[in-house]
Amino acid sequence: MGVTETITSPTYTIISEYNSTPVLYHIDAYRLSGDEDFENIGGREIIYSGGISLIEWGERIPKSIPKDAVIVMIKITGPCSRLIQLKGLEKI
């Protein structure tokens, strides 16, 4: 996608935008109170803008996640191991 800068968690800014093709939005919903908060910061416009949106803590904004989203779940299974599950790939 051409992103050359370091991508970090946008915890305090909530949304980080990266110049790429298409534009990459990295959203951290942890500090949001729910879907209404997400809507109030323009979240819906961002995820339907034609860019790619990566959302951390998406379970905090369940009504805002598009039905055709690909969900990546990461579970810690040990000190050096993770279980990664993908849902929704059949839609793309």
The reported pTM is 0.84
| pLDDT per residue as tens digits for the range 26-35 | 999 999 999 9
Name the more confident of 62 and 6: 62
pLDDT of residue 9: 81
| pLDDT per residue as tens digits for the range 4-51 | 888 888 878 899 999 999 999 999 999 999 999 999 999 999 999 999
DSSP output for 2-41: ---SPP---TTTSEEEE--SS-EEEEE-TT--SHHHHHHT
| Residue boundaries of the structural domains of the chain | 15-67
Assign 92 a pLDDT band (cuts: 50, 70, 90).
Answer: low
Both structure tokens of 14: 């909530």
